Amino acid sequence: MMTREIFPGGPILELGPGTGVFTRAILGRGVPESDLTLIEYGADFVRMLEDRFPAARVLEMDATHLVHHQIYAGTPVEAVVSGLPLLSIPARKVMSILAGAFTYLRPNGGFYQFTYGPRCPVPAVVLDRLGLRATRIGRAVLNIPPAAVYRITRQPIKFPLCPLPDSWVTLPTSESQHKVLEQNGGSARHLLTFP
């Protein structure tokens, strides 16, 4: 469930791999071990991961500091897989983790988050501030407690109508033109006619 949208073809970043259950599942998708970067702050887990996945890059660091380190140069990350316990991490730190991860993630790449909670563990305010959206892509209701996986991606970019300065405005619009403009989120000030 957590790795079914993961395909080989580029670097994969895993946050909070712990004992490596998701890491093994990523490798099971055909991703070469050398394409993995594992970010873990528990020293004992780090040693265990280094033993189990000798070709992976294991970094002993706090995922909230991702934004302060240049862990990749150039190549965008295909996907981020997170086993971090986001429900028990303060919103400010969750924001740093996501902001950091998205600096490396390719434009349409997904950040896959596991949770035991009833909704996405990233607060809506954090998603909004970072221009992200979350979609639940799987649920294991028979699990105790029930588990779910969310895919977090960038919001599609909207191109807003560009308002014009007052001095440019002429208003030869009919009632029906106003209606169409309102329905499309604009106003008469977005129309420009030349004298």
Q: For 32-48, what is the HEC assignment?
A: CHHHEEEEECCHHHHHH
How far apart CA 41 and CA 18 sit, in angstroms, is 9
Out of 41, 169, 178, 190, the only residue in the binding site for ligand SAM (CB under 6 A) is 41
Q: State which of positions 163-192 bind ligand SAM (CB under 6 A).
A: none
DSSP letter at 66 equals G
- Enumerate the H helices of 39-174 as residue ranges: 43-52, 91-104, 124-130
25 vs 132, which CB is nearer to ligand SAM? 25
Q: Which two tokens stand for residue 4?
A: 């079914």
112 vs 191, which CB is nearer to ligand SAM? 112
87 vs 171, which CB is nearer to ligand SAM? 87
How far apart CA 188 and CA 186 sit, in angstroms, is 7
Out of 39, 79, 80, 191, the only residue in the binding site for ligand SAM (CB under 6 A) is 39
For residue 97, give the 3-state DSSP assignment.
helix
Asked if residue 145 has a cis previous peptide bond (ω within 30° of 0), the answer is yes
Q: State which of positions 84-123 bind ligand SAM (CB under 6 A).
A: 84-85
Out of 3, 22, 53, 120, the only residue in the binding site for ligand SAM (CB under 6 A) is 22
Out of 27, 31, 56, 63, the only residue in the binding site for ligand SAM (CB under 6 A) is 63
CB of 109 to ligand SAM, least distance (A): 20
Its sign, for the CA torsion 114, 74, 95, 89, is positive
Is 35:8 a contact under the CB 8 Å cutoff?
yes
Number of residues that bind ligand SAM (CB under 6 A): 18
19 vs 153, which CB is nearer to ligand SAM? 19
Out of 3, 37, 64, 113, the only residue in the binding site for ligand SAM (CB under 6 A) is 64
Residues that bind ligand SAM (CB under 6 A): 16-22, 39-42, 45, 62-64, 83-85
